[in-house]
Structure formats: structure tokens, C-alpha cells
Amino acid sequence: MAGKTPGSMEEKLVTPELNTPLKLARLNEMPDGPVYMATVSSTVVRNLAKRKAVKREAASRFVMLDSVDDSSKRRKVEAGLLEEQCRAKAREKMVAIMDDEFKKLELKKVREAASLKLKEVRAESVAEAKRLVTASATSQNNLAGKLYQLRYTKAEIMAFSKGNYEEKEIMDEEKVEEMEDGLNVAEKTVADNQKTINHEIESSRLRVVDLEGLLDVEKKFSAKLQKELDVAREREEQTLLYNAEYAEEYEALISQDLALNQLTSELAEMKENVVSGSRHKAELAEYRIRALNDEISDMKCKIRALNEQLLKKEIDLDTARTDLALSEVDFEKMNNSIAGKDLELRNSAQIRDRLIARLDRVKADLRRLKGREAQSRADLAEIQAKNKSLVDDLAHAHRNVRRAV
């Protein structure tokens, strides 16, 4: 202890690390947003230059230590209380930060699950729409084939598929004998065609019901996502309130640090005013000064930790804002998907109505075919009767000719 020079003790007492208000002021002057490495490097260089200058100034001082009065003990007690308060606040801040981290992880999991569910629903909707289009095309092809089997012309089939079918004139009597053999086959074909169309209409109705169910599920999921978005906004507002409280506490710490620096300056002035004293008192004063320096170093470490936590909080706030913007984009995409589903549902309903109208037209055609069949059979019976009467007349004429001969 005796071998230590007063200059070394003065250097410990007046280190550049004790000048924390300047550092806090520089931190407050830092702009919000991302921190660039060039700015950080220039700040570090300036800090090192100032530290070297203060060390050179401290090394040039020589002070003799004599005694420390009761005021130093009181200040030491105040420094201990301040340290305990800082530790308690640091623990509270760490607990709050951990809670925020857990909440962010839970929100991230919920968003991932929502994104997966949305992708599944979209894939199912696209597959269902493709199945509906394929089924509609298949039903149109089957209907065209059935009409072709019924000996409709290509123009009639095209007009029937477009929904612009018009009735044609009844066939000539010359074609009655050609259609006589195909009437029974036509009846069976039309019946099978009617069953097929009924089955396709029922399938379309079931698909429409499934699409309505999927639309309800997507609407519920959209409402759930809206609730999660509101919760995220509330959390962001709460985070802003926490940041405001943290700023107030940070200002209180700055004031306490200023008071601590004032105590340090007063202690330096007391050391400069000391002219003589015993070695024991000098060693005791050096021990107390070392203890004060250690406490001041701990306080500076805590202040640095609080500054780092403040920077982390700002980074987390930016992340939360980005996540909120992404959630809003997902919500808009969900609304667009719901609008697309509504359009697909309306298209499916229109397809179902068209199929029902076509079924009605097929039934009307069947009734007309039955009427034509009855008319054809009546005409055939009339022709057969005429043929029979002609044969009878011819036979009677032959008999008359024979009698005449």
C-alpha cells in the first residue's frame, strides 16, 4: 500500500469511464433507426482519443491524501442504496424483456399456423375449382354425345350447348320409317341422359355446399386473424408505454449518475485539500476510495447494460412494426381470397342453373319426341291402312279383269 504513488490513486479516481453523463448524452443524441458501422467506428475513435487525453491529464496530477470524514461514509451508504435500486430495476426490466420475448414467440407460432392453414385452404379451393370446371366440360361433352346419338345435327348440338336452342319443324313423313327403329333406342338413351344430368346436378349441388362450407371456414379464419392483428396492435401500444416508462427511469438514472459524479468531484477536492496525515489514515482513505471506485465501476456496468437493453427494445419495436405490417398484408390477401371464393360460388350457382335449364329443355325435347313418335305411329297406321285398301282395290280390280276376260 505504501509503495503506491498518489498519481496512481488519482488516475483510478478520475478515469474517463466515470464520465458517464457524457456517454448518456451521446446515446440520447443517437438517431432512431438502424445503426451504421461507420458511425459506430467514428464514435469509438473519438471516445478512445478523449480517454487518452483524460489519462494524460490525470497522470500529470499529484495529490497527497490525509483523511476522510464522516461525509464519505454517508455517501458510501447512499451509493450502496443506489446500487440496490439499480439492481432491482435491472431485474424488473429483464423479466419484462423475457415476457415480451415469449409473447413474440407465441405470436410467431400462431402466424405460422395461420399461414399453413391459409395455404391448405387455397390449395383445396383451387383443386375444387378445377374439379368443377372438369365436371362441367365432361357433362357438356356427354350431353353433346347423347344428342349426337339422337341424330341431332352439329348446329343443333352447338346451339343446345350454348343455351340458344330453338325448336325445329317436324320431320317429313319420308323420315318416319327411318326413325321407327331408333325410337325405342332414343327413349332409353334420353332416360340414361336424364339420369346422368340429374347425377351431375346433384354432384354440382354438393360441390356448391362444400364451397360454401369452405367459404364459411375462411371467413371464420379471417375473423380470427383480425382478432390476432388487434392483439398485436395492443401489444405494440403496450410496448410503447413500457418504453416511455423506461425512458423516465433512464432519466432518473442519469440524474443519479450526475449526483454520483458530483460526489466523486467533491471527493477529489477533499483529496486536494488534504496536506498531511498519518500513513494509516492514508491507507484507510485509499481503501475507501478503491471501494468507491469499484462501486462506481459496477454502476457504470449496470448503466451500460441498461443502454444495451434500450437498444434491444428499440430493435424489438421495429421488428414488431414489421410483423404488424406483414399481418396487415396477409389480412388483405385473405380478403382478396374470400372475394375470389364468392365469385367462384356465384359461377358454380350459375353453372347449376344452366344445367337445370338444360335438363328442362331435354325433358321438353323428350316430350316432343314422344309426340312425334305417337304421330309417326298414327301416320304409319294410316299408311298401312291405305296400303291395305290399295291392295284390296288392286285385288278387286284383278278379279274384275279376270271376270271380264
Return the pLDDT at 24: 42
- Residue 276 maps to which CATH number? 1.10.287
Return the pLDDT at 193: 61
Return the pLDDT at 7: 45
| Residue 75 included in any domain | no
Low-confidence residues of the chain: pLDDT under 50: 1-41, 62-68, 163-186
Return the pLDDT at 23: 42
Average pLDDT of the chain?
68
Return the pLDDT at 52: 61
> Which H, E and C letters describe 152-191, residue by residue?
CCHHHHHHHHHCCCCCCCCCCHHHHHHHHHHHHHHHHHHH
| Residue 94 included in any domain | no
CA-angle at 353, arms to 350 and 357, nearest 5° = 140
Return the pLDDT at 248: 76
| Residue 291 included in any domain | no
CA-angle at 332, arms to 326 and 333, nearest 5° = 90
| Residue 274 included in any domain | yes
Return the pLDDT at 288: 80
Helices vs. strands in the chain: H and E counts, helices first: 7, 0
| Residue 48 included in any domain | no
Enter the pTM of the model.
Answer: 0.24
Over residues 66-108, the pLDDT tens digits come to 444 555 556 666 666 776 777 777 767 777 777 777 777 777 7
Distance, first Cα to last Cα, the chain: 175
Return the pLDDT at 3: 42
Return the pLDDT at 101: 74
| Residue 46 included in any domain | no
Range of the domain at 149: 100-281+307-404
Return the pLDDT at 195: 72
Q: Name the domain count of the chain.
A: 1
Instruction: Say how far apart CA 68 and CA 289 lie, in whole Å.
Output: 9
Return the pLDDT at 129: 64
